[in-house]
Amino acid sequence: MTGLMTGLMTGSSCFALLLAGAPASHAAAIGASPMGSIRVVADESPLVVAAAPVTQDQTSAAGPHAEATIVNGIQVTQHGGKPVVVSSKGQPTVTQRAKASAPLRFTGLVPGKAYTVRVGSATRTVVPVGKVGDASGLVVTSSAPDRVELAWVHLQTPKNGGSAVSYTITATAPGQPTVEDTVVGARTAVLTGLDPDALYTFTVTPRNSASVGKSSRAIMSRTLKQIHGNTANPTPNQPAQPQAPSITVVVPPAGPSTPSGPSTQTIYICPTGYRDNGAECIRTQPYTYATQPYTYTTRAYTYHNETYQVNIGSCVVPMPDGGSAIYDNCMETRTRSVKDPTPFGWTDTGNEWVKKDATPSGWTDTGTGWAKKDPTPPGWMDDGTQWIQATSKIPKVVPI
């Protein structure tokens, strides 16, 4: 390598890219020319440094292309106008067909559940995602004059966007270029290269393949130079107290906010009422419901007439010749009023017919009355089985 660099720095008009770890056949093609410059012999076949096995990729031209680009749904293209069948275990199978150039949209699917998309003999597996939830509780700290550390709260559940959530982090300040980064899965990030004299606004925006959630924002009240001074030594990282999503969180002032030294240490714990969930703290509460008794529609009985016969004993019956004859066990036809049969779906109470009214929209029939889940309380999220609330851990100084 020393010879290569010397050749580049001693007037050679050529330059070469030397790939570390090249095999001997490629290394032999690179050498010094008689004039001391670098000579490069081109190899017609490219040097393969790494390779992965080829698998069927739905992005290829052949076969359908299915993506979870709509909330609780799948969009299918490249179907060639053939019937598209979408199925999943325990879910109804749906079939659609459209012109070859028209995309097909399958909505109302279960987020987080794998679906098979079939077009002819070709299949694809796609997992729909829900609407991504909002980020909250952004906390910004600084351990050096040109960098900050960010942490935020965002619950990743199928109903809150799924696990395939990315976060776009930006730092903006007047007259300064935007500093931006993207992380996937993690809810922490580090931004470097910041201007120590600028007041930055930080935002974290969650997104998945189908939607974008509301950003969480924090605004600096002092510059990094004001916080750290002119010293090059970084100040120990001091995490800020977690705040509610609606409160602006600022970078904490310089200097330790908690005692330090050999006799104490700072640990991070969950606030009272929360339990540790790894990177964050959560608490849950069961759903509550509004109830109402059944209501009924009543209907008066209806009747119809029917004829019947009664044995009246002996009777005199006129004869055609003008005489008469006496008969025993004579029958007389009479008419009576009879209640109609109970209509289908109604119940006979003995006084009238009654029928339970239809279950109101948004309510559920429990068998004893109607019930409806209450709205999600402010500051909580619905994970599909209960209400859940997340927050950051808080520092606590304890003896070593």
**CA-based max dimension of the chain:** 157
Q: What integer pLDDT is reported at residue 295 of this predicted model?
A: 95
Q: Which parts of the chain sit beneath pLDDT 50? A: 1-61, 232-236, 238, 240-261
| Sign of the alpha-carbon dihedral angle for 105, 107, 112, 117 | negative
- How far is the C-alpha of 360 from the C-alpha of 372, rounded, in Å? 10
User: What are the CA-CA distances from residue 175 to residues 23, 34, 229 (Å)?
Assistant: 50, 54, 22
Note the pLDDT of residue 205.
Answer: 94
In terms of C-beta distances under 8 Å and separation of at least 24 residues, what long-range contacts does 342-345 make, across chains too? 343/299
pLDDT of residue 226: 87
pLDDT, residue 97, reads: 86
Compute CA 199 distance to the chain's CA centroid, rounded to the nearest angstrom.
34
pLDDT value, residue 335 = 94
Picking from 241, 254, 172, the residue whose alpha carbon sits closest to that of residue 205 is 172
pLDDT of residue 85: 92
Which pair of tokens denotes residue 207?
């997104």
Q: How far apart are CA 77 and CA 91, in angstroms?
A: 22
Strand partners, 373: 289
pLDDT, residue 162, reads 64
Predicted confidence at residue 160, as pLDDT, reads 62
Asked if residues 219 and 250 have their Cβ atoms less than 8 Å apart, the reply is yes
Beta strands in 154-226 (DSSP E): 166-172, 179-184, 188-192, 201-207, 216-219
Tokens of 159: 């109903």
Q: What is the pLDDT of residue 337?
A: 93
Q: How far is the C-alpha of 300 from the C-alpha of 286, rounded, in Å?
A: 44
**pLDDT at site 267:** 83
